A = this chain, B = another copy of it.
Amino acid sequence: MIKVGIVGGTGYTGVELLRLLATHPEVSLHAITSRSEAGIAVSELFPNLRGHVDLVFSIPDADQLAECDVVFFATPHTVAMALVPELIKRGTRVIDLSADFRLKDAKSWEHWYNTPHTCPEFLEQAVYGLPEVNREQIKTAQLVAVAGCYPTATQLGFLPLLENNIIDPQQLIADVKSGVSGAGRKASIGTLLTESSENMKAYAVAGHRHLPEIEQGLNLVSKQAVGLTFIPHLTPMIRGIHATLYGQLTSAVDLQALFEQRYADEPFVDVMPAGSQPETRSVRGSNTCRIAVHQPQGRNTVVVLAVIDNLVKGASGQAIQNMNIMFGFDEKLGINIIATMP
């Protein structure tokens, strides 16, 4: 039984952490903070938690948080970086769902996030929390930067191809589609039901913050700088990411076998049978990434289809998967959830 704290519990990744941690058999919820909602019962803001979570939001307090074995940050960027050094110093491990520690290069981070990084010395020691790549390092990490939602789906889809050096790393295309919850729980006109249902559009075509994160990960496995065209789309649904990935094959291999072997031992990556087309709803609410690989018309273009729930495998579920690895629990503990269909 470990003591867990959550900083920033009023967003979608926060309430999803609560849903999953409330029934995790090795977790005791110790504190959940929110400046704006301090004093309010969590279940008042999120009635689905009535009868399951009796915590009250509190003002973030370093002493209280330092009593925890691990603290999750489910906050906008720049919040974690202000508290993490103190917590790490006091021996509390940190799992950060925000982007603060995902990039290794402080200059790049400051360029894309357009604000100074206040503790760049932590960027190197932070472990990028994508278990399918960094499981060993995660075990002993003091600070984990959980992989983003698009980056998780996109990297899991490209990994087998780039690790085996069978596509041109200069011609990667990721056409990704996300449900609206990716935009977070904040008042805005663009994500009103009236504006975003019955509608499909691309956005951030000129450059999305997940681009450098994905390229950093793909560079590592490719051992060279990749060239990725990354086009995100807003899709009229609450949850789900569908990544459609395109690469130019440079050698002929059994793609199906390649993917099956790569993920044979991964508890949360499900390579579908040949010819399949995974649906986002098949992973809704679950921590699974479902993948299929195709080579249409036998031409040179390989097409990978990868789906995740952006709030689970793309955020809170993956954060708990990281926690399970860090504390030596069964990796599936508390997150071995079956998606709800329909």
Contacts and interface: CB of A to CB of B under 8 A. Distances in A.
B278 A185 contact: no
Contacts of A132: none
Contact of A194 (B180, B244, B290): B180
Contact of A47 (B22, B206, B230, B290): B290
Given A207-B296, A227-B299, A233-B242, A48 B341 contact: yes
Given A12-B342, A185-B192, A229-B303, A199 B279 contact: yes
Contacts of A230: 296
B201 A280 contact: yes
B242 A286 contact: no
Protomer copies: 4
Nearest to A272: B47
Interface string A90-106: 00000000000000000
A248 interface: yes
A155 interface: no
A281 B199 contact: yes
A112 interface: no
Of listed A191, A198, A246, A299, residue having the most chain B CB within 10 A: A198
Given A51-B270, A233-B244, A187 B185 contact: no
Nearest to A195: B342
A55 to B, nearest CB: 14
Contacts of A203: 277
A173 interface: yes
Of listed A51, A173, A175, A270, residue having the most chain B CB within 10 A: A175
Contacts of A51: 270, 288
Contact of A280 (B22, B200, B278, B342): B200
10 contacts: A12-B194, A48-B282, A50-B282, A175-B244, A180-B192, A191-B194, A195-B342, A227-B299, A229-B301, A231-B303
Interface of A: 12, 15, 19, 22-23, 46-52, 171, 173, 175, 177, 179-181, 183, 185-189, 191-203, 205-207, 211, 227, 229-231, 233, 235-240, 242, 244, 246, 248, 270, 272, 275, 277-286, 288, 290, 294, 296-297, 299, 301, 303, 305, 307, 336, 338-342
Contact of A279 (B52, B200, B239, B280): B200
A338 B48 contact: yes
B239 A342 contact: yes
B199 A189 contact: no
B242 A200 contact: yes
A314 to B, nearest CB: 14
Given A202-B277, A244-B175, A244-B231, A341 B303 contact: no
A206 B303 CA distance: 10
